[in-house]
Structure 1
Amino acid sequence: MSNPLHAVVIHKAGDLRIDEFPEPVPAPNEAVIDIVYGGICGSDLHYWQHGAAGESILRAPMVLGHEVVGIVRRAAPDGTGPAEGAHVAVHPATPAKEYVRHPADRPNISGGGYLGSAARFPHRDGAFAQRVAMPTRMLRVLPNQVDLKEAALIEPASVAWHAVNRIGDVAGQSALVVGCGPIGLLAIAVLKARGARHVTAVDLHDRPLAVAKELGADIVLKQPDDADVAAIDADVVIESSGSHRGLDTAIRGATRGGVVAMVGLLPSGPQPVQIALAIARELDLLGCFRFNDEIDEVIRALADGTLHVAPVISHVEPWRSAKKAFAVAADPTVSSKVLLRFRSVR
């Protein structure tokens, strides 16, 4: 008799468990994947801490996790997708079938599903599990030179890459990144990879700013005052704090005619932000939500060495220690990206 499989499941706010699960039974177009690493995302933390991530409210137990990489254990029965033994990253989105109103290159705003999301009911289980079945359309084969541990950052790095794509060509531009959580740090890495001339990073804590410097930030500022922010005068800004204060800093730090990409998800409801300043300076405020095919660009950049992400990983914990790992991930003074390890790889 085979050993039971396990997954990291949120039952309600504060109630994170390791539950047993049966062996996955794949559909014809699904491959069976042995998960190796899974990165703990802010949304995973919100489900754990609050039982909700924004408007997505937990109504039943749900397997968490969408930042995952692994190894194909069994190829899809229909012959599509990667072969057995391939190292793969996962694109966790499922565009809505009724997606018709927006251009074909923006399925991320179609209102579709996402791994480990309570946006719809029944919820869409995630992939913090020892073994899962995944549609082959979600799988991206990793080149041999891409380390699986670093590959666990492909999904959040794709979010940062998408934000830079929304801005456009950043080569030779000065940039400001507000909020140096994992997405903000990866935004710094992407900006440097895409040729930004000068990057300033802002955060509330010393540790993330030290990592920002390691990733190539030219200047780091801890809790700057309004005068310091105004002096930044950045051509492009990425707001990744997800707070109204962070967005206010982003607007104040942008040059006249500049661009602010809003990646951090602010709470629902009115927000006290200096929109009048954005109007007077003719700033472009761009909403940025998840990503599309940027995952392929990120994989190429990791493979050719132009994208440097390793310093973002602060901790790797075994899956059985998920509760400890979540507590560490929730403290930005001690961690950046925390990974769960589901199996060892030689």
Structure 2
Amino acid sequence: MWAYVLAAPRRFEKVDVPAPEAGDLRDGQVLLRTLAGGICGSDAPDFRGLRTPLVARDRPDEGPGAPGLPGFPMHEVVGEVVASRDPSLKPGARVVGWADSADAIAAYVVTAGAGLAECDPALEPTVAALLQPLACVLSAVDRLGALDGADVAVLGQGPIGILFSHVIKERGARRVTGVDVVDRDDVAGLFGVDEAVRGASGRWAAHLADDRRPGVVVEAIGHQTATLGDAIDAVAPSGLIHYFGIPEEHPYALDMWKFLRKQLTMQAGTTLERRRYLQAAGQYLAAHRVLADHYVTHTYGVGDVQAAYECADVPAEGRLKVAVSMA
């Protein structure tokens, strides 16, 4: 089968590799023919060569950090079930979810059925790709608890942050402030943002009046440690901070004295009940078609995967989710 491999930082090459076969599946696994994939912010450090791929779960002989893992890095996948050892997913089903080994830039991929859910076959595969990040956001917002009447700030209004803004507003927040160095005025209102702040989160936090401090801050920028400090600076005393995403640096330094004196709470986590939240994402999308119309802003064919990742790697006005069509 065809696949793309990172031959060097920021450089893909197309390769021919053996296709996985139905007989190789373990209990709970499915074989997908890939239709589309979404590029996640957590793919950026991999594309830049800052991390090596984890060992593929079905190829343990390759060892950890196996270089040149075909299909890496992409975990947001839409596909058609070709073969299944998950009794709830039948061949022919259109599904969306996680590619466990982040190896979905390939004609076929093997992954756990528990990380997949059926999706509306009427959706274009590149649009259906938004259900995976939406599932992650729905899971995270559930952990925030009741938001009725809350003032919430979301740091970062890229593909993840803008979803947080939409879901948080729908959950009853009184005011949603979206902060981003990129001008998001074109979509802020559509995604529930009451105040769109264009500028660095640190500068915004430093100039907040005490009576304007949000009770909840979501840090959805990532890629460095400073913006978590900005969240601590911005949030109201006794407030809640949610750190979203995969940290690129495992230890994070923060002002623990300020954290303590402000009596703060911080939470983080990953999506555990993947199928349930993918199903919830499908229901949410059906109720909020604005996401289908405005979330995926750039679509590339798989032959242009290099250009797709280059586009996704640089925040820009008018650019939210970048999807890759593989059909």
> Given the alignment, which residue of 305, 317, 320 partners 1:336?
320
Root-mean-square deviation (Å):
2.8
- Paired AA for residue 222 in structure 1: R
- The residue matched to 2:152 in structure 1 has which SS? strand
Q: Deviations over 1:191-220 (max 9, x none)?
A: 1232222210001111x4533333120101
- Paired AA for residue 331 in structure 1: V
- Distance verdict in 2 for CA 1:215–1:270, change over 3 Å: same
Confirm whether residue 181 of structure 1 aligns to residue 164 of structure 2: no
Confirm whether residue 157 of structure 1 aligns to residue 134 of structure 2: yes
Partners of 1:238 and 1:175 lie apart in 2 by: 8
- The residue matched to 1:228 in structure 2 has which SS? coil
Q: Which residue of 2 aligns with 1:251?
A: 232
Partners of 2:253 and 2:210 lie apart in 1 by: 18
Confirm whether residue 71 of structure 1 aligns to residue 80 of structure 2: yes
Q: Deviations over 1:118-162 (max 9, x none)?
A: xxxxxxxx1121222344333311145655333201222222222
Q: Which residue of 2 aligns with 1:13?
A: 9
Partners of 2:19 and 2:326 lie apart in 1 by: 15
Q: Which residue of 1 aligns with 2:197?
A: 221
- Distance verdict in 2 for CA 1:275–1:28, change over 3 Å: closer
1:12 CA displacement: 3.6
Would you say the 8 A contact 1:154–1:295 is kept in 2? Answer: yes
Would you say the 8 A contact 1:177–1:188 is kept in 2? Answer: yes
- The residue matched to 1:322 in structure 2 has which SS? helix
Q: Which residue of 2 aligns with 1:61?
A: 68
Q: Which residue of 2 aligns with 1:288?
A: 269
1:75 CA displacement: 3.8
Structure 2: 5+ residue runs without aligned partners?
A: 56-63
- Distance verdict in 2 for CA 1:81–1:153, change over 3 Å: same
Would you say the 8 A contact 2:125–2:325 is kept in 1? Answer: no
Q: Which residue of 2 aligns with 1:105?
A: none
1:249 CA displacement: 2.2
1:309 CA displacement: 5.5
Would you say the 8 A contact 2:165–2:191 is kept in 1? Answer: yes
- The residue matched to 1:10 in structure 2 has which SS? strand
Would you say the 8 A contact 2:154–2:217 is kept in 1? Answer: yes
- Distance verdict in 2 for CA 1:54–1:320, change over 3 Å: closer
Q: Deviations over 1:219-246 (max 9, x none)?
A: 0112244113755321211101113332
Confirm whether residue 32 of structure 1 aligns to residue 46 of structure 2: no
Q: Deviations over 1:268-316 (max 9, x none)?
A: 2665544333222211111233443333322222234388354231200
> % of aligned pairs identical?
25
- Paired AA for residue 215 in structure 2: D
Partners of 1:33 and 1:231 lie apart in 2 by: 52
- The residue matched to 2:238 in structure 1 has which SS? strand
Would you say the 8 A contact 1:193–1:306 is kept in 2? Answer: no
Q: Which residue of 1 aligns with 2:59?
A: none
Query: Relative to structure 2, which stretch is displaced further, 11-20 or 266-275?
Result: 266-275
Partners of 1:55 and 1:280 lie apart in 2 by: 40
Would you say the 8 A contact 1:35–1:129 is kept in 2? Answer: yes
Structure 2 counterparts to residues 44-193 of structure 1, below 5 A: 44-52=43-51, 58-62=65-69, 63-64=71-72, 65-72=74-81, 74-76=82-84, 80-92=87-99, 114-116=100-102, 126-144=103-121, 147-193=124-170
Structure 2 counterparts to residues 204-219 of structure 1, below 5 A: 204-206=181-183, 208=184, 210-219=186-195
Q: Which residue of 1 aligns with 2:260?
A: 279
- The residue matched to 1:331 in structure 2 has which SS? coil
Query: Relative to structure 2, which stretch is displaced further, 38-47 or 127-136?
Result: 127-136
Partners of 2:261 and 2:163 lie apart in 1 by: 30
Partners of 1:266 and 1:43 lie apart in 2 by: 9
- Paired AA for residue 164 in structure 2: A
Partners of 1:276 and 1:145 lie apart in 2 by: 53
